[in-house]
Amino acid sequence: MSAMAELLAFQRQTEALAQVMGRLSWDQETVMPEGAVEQRGEELAALEAVLHGRRVDPRVADWLAAANPETEAEKAHVRLIRRAYDRAAKVPADLSAAIVRTTALAHGQWARARASEDVASFLPVLSEILSLRQQEAAALSGGGDAYDALLQDYEPGMTGAALDEMFGALRPRLVALRAAVAESGHDPAPLKGVFPKAEQLALAEELARAFGYDLNRGRIDEAVHPFSSGSGHDVRITTRVDKAEPFGCFYSTIHEVGHACYEQNIAPDLVLSALGQGVSMGVHESQSRIYENQLARSRAFTGWLYGRMRDRFGSLNVQGEEAFHAAVNRVAPGHIRTEADEVHYNLHILMRFDLERAMLAGDLAVQDLEAAWNDRFLADFGVAVDKPSNGVLQDVHWSAGLIGYFPTYSLGNVYAGCLHQALRRDLPDLDAALATGDPSPALDWLRDRLQRHGGLRPPRETIEHATGAPVGVEPLLEYLDVKFGAIYGF
């Protein structure tokens, strides 16, 4: 067997074990009994130790040195495996296991703190997580920028400075758009009523299927914070239900379906390989955001959804397709990131990006995080935070140690803007299909141009290959200006 073949066979087993570990995490957030949390932490730490050992196995270095990749795919396999080997080799095994163990325990503490509105009870474990991630960043950065070192786990090749530049270009236009909406004098009526849980979940499943989610290789469950988990032939999603706010269920489901379809649509011969998952979180978010926003919140699709909601729930307080479209896209400075309209969403992310960079650098103490959050939120949104679950405790990411993850949401929006511009160019009749509840022309375009390739190309190159154009913020900003200008009449 050649060095290349041995390398790929070994990597296949490593990827399979990583999927098992991911399944344990899915179980913890959906059906695991609360009393099992400490044991689950030990189980995850044990698996992480095995995975870390495989990632730094000396044979991997030997196979990489001897491998003679010939095809584009083989070269990409070598590139990604070498990158994973080099990063894993810099992080001590006991530190890697400690991060997994601590974050497994922290999830339950975060959920309890959120439920009881008790920030103080969560801060000690957050401090521990921050310390562990600072140690990891120091090991990875070799004296370079600590935040950049962690960012590579989510968006390889990206830097904090590049994100600063991109976000600096976004912020003024977003603020101006928000001001134009506020000055328009138009305030669309929100959807109101009581929408039974069973009916919401039934329509959510219908939407998931419409957007291409294969339930023979997936499932939909409920969780405090919706997420997608897995790749290949076992990709699971979660959603949430509020009887007074069905859009949260429907659009969270579509969002997670975007993630899940990226994984399900990767070419079968790449499954359980280094190329067999989404190439980065920014590219992953481009899929979830374009499914949720440019497609599912479009005027054409919401017209169809209006009819389906009336079929399921009877008459609505919002009358007519135009009013319903405005209700779906209503702009309001709400507290919750995952429920934010497209105008405010990126402002949520920019705030979190700044706060977590400051914490990692030691410029913001954990005990001061809540006050810093509340001050920044009031300044950016003009609304005071009323309770921690609407503020610093709303997101699961920091309890999971995902420092460097948040900016990929806005990066994903930028990527989605580029993809949407290109697919509208290539699919001029898309709205006719969307108006019948059929997004498949866009889904096929995304699958063929991007999803099936998995990790074949680096993130930015993945988007540019799909669109045939350089990545930039202008397509997103133009889309937002046109959409909300039409809704709000300016």
Catalytic residues: 256
Long-range interactions of 164-169: CB distance < 8 A, separation 24+ = 166/410, 166/411, 166/414, 166/473, 167/346, 167/350, 167/353, 167/407, 167/410, 169/473
Taking Cα atoms as reference points, which of 483, 489, 490 lies closest to residue 298?
A: 483
Which tokens belong to 121? 């009870």
220 - beta bridge partners?
237
Cα–Cα dist 296/290, whole Å: 8
Cα–Cα dist 198/221, whole Å: 13
